[in-house]
Amino acid sequence: MPTHTPALVDSAEPLTWLVTGASSGIGHALAEHALTHGHRVVLAARSTRAMDALAARFPGSARVVVLDVTSSAQRSAAVQHTLSQFGPIDVLVNNAAVDFIGAIEEQREPDYRAQFEVNLFGAVDMIRLVLPGMRARRAGTLVNISSMDGIASLPANGFYSASKFALEGVTEALQQELAPLGIRAFSVQPGSVRTGIEARTHASGNAIADYAATSGRFREQVAAVTPEMFPGDPARVAAAIHDEIVAPTGRRWLVLGSDALRRIGAKVAALQQDLDAAVLTASRTDFPDAGTAVL
C-alpha cells in the first residue's frame, strides 16, 4: 500500500502556508487539513517528530523546519526556508503558545515572561517578517490563534489571558492597518480542544492559601482533567479555520466551540451591562466645552 495520502485539491488555487506550533494540537491538525486540501505547508515547531511523520505523507507539498519562536535566527530561517521551498507566503498561522497556571501573585517571573515571549512577541515578530512580502503583492492572510481566554479571563490563567488579550489588540490594529493593502488578519478563539494541552500545562510558583477558593480551585481542576472533558475536536476546528481562509466571510473573530461561545457570550453581556450604565456617567468626565473626539 502507498504511504502517501492523495490530496483532495480544492477548486481554489493552492496557497503556501507557514504554521507555527505545528507539532501538535490545532497547529498540527490545521497543517494536515491544509495539506489534504492541496495546499503547500511548512510545519514549524521546536519538536519535529510528529511533523516529520505528517510531511512524509505529502513529500511534494510539506516541509518541516525547527522553530522556537523566541529565537530571532530561527524565525528568520523559517521564513527563508518557506520562501526557498514554495515561494511567497500566502498564509501565516501563529499557533505556537505556552501556558502556566497560578494566581498573579503566585507565578514565577520567568514563567509569566515566557508566556509573553512566545504567545505575543514571537507571533508579532513572525508577522513583521512576512508582511513586507505580503505588502509587495498586496495579498496575504494572517491568522492569530488566540483563545476564549483572550476575551474572557479566569483566575489562575491571568498571564496567559493577558498575552492573548494583547494578541487580540495587535490583530485588531492589523485589521485596520492592512485592509487597504489587500491583506487580511483575523483571530481565532477556540474553546477547550482535545490537543493534549492538559499534559503541557504546568503550575507556576508555590500555592498561596488565601487563593484556595479561586486559583487554587483552578489548579485542582487542571490536575484532575481528562481529555474527555474537552468538547473541542481539533479536526473540526482546523476545518473551520481553513474554510475561513480559503472562502472568507469577513469575520474578525472566529469563535469556535460551545464553551467558547458560552464564556465569551457571558463576557460580552457583562461588558454591555457596564456600557449601558456608562451612558449616565461617561460624558460627565469630559470638559464642559469639549468638541468631537479625534477618534
How would you classify residue 250: left for phi > 0, otherwise alpha for psi between -120 and 50, otherwise beta?
left
Catalytic residue, chosen from 24, 61, 146, 215, is: 146
* Residue 147 known to be catalytic: no
Taking the C-alpha atoms of residue 40 and residue 192, their distance in angstroms, rounded to an integer, is 28
Residues of 173-191 as b/e, b for ≥16 C-beta within 10 angstroms? ebbeebeeeebbbbbbbbb
Catalytic residue, chosen from 24, 161, 163, 164, is: 164
Taking the C-alpha atoms of residue 157 and residue 151, their distance in angstroms, rounded to an integer, is 12
Query: How many H helices and E strands in the chain?
Result: 10, 9
* Residue 211 known to be catalytic: no
Catalytic residue, chosen from 112, 153, 160, 187, is: 160
Taking the C-alpha atoms of residue 37 and residue 197, their distance in angstroms, rounded to an integer, is 26
Taking the C-alpha atoms of residue 144 and residue 188, their distance in angstroms, rounded to an integer, is 6
Contacts of 213 (CB under 8 A, 6+ apart): none
Phi, psi for residue 277 in degrees, rounded to 5: -65, -30
Taking the C-alpha atoms of residue 270 and residue 197, their distance in angstroms, rounded to an integer, is 29
Q: Are 89 and 18 in contact (CB under 8 A)?
A: yes
The angle subtended at Cα 44 by Cα 237 and Cα 47, nearest 5°, is 100
* Residue 11 known to be catalytic: no
* Residue 153 known to be catalytic: no
Q: Which amino acid is at 167?
A: L
Catalytic residue, chosen from 23, 153, 192, 204, is: 23
Cβ burial of 10 (10 Å; 0-12, 13-18, 19+) is: middle
- Catalytic site positions: 23, 146, 160, 164
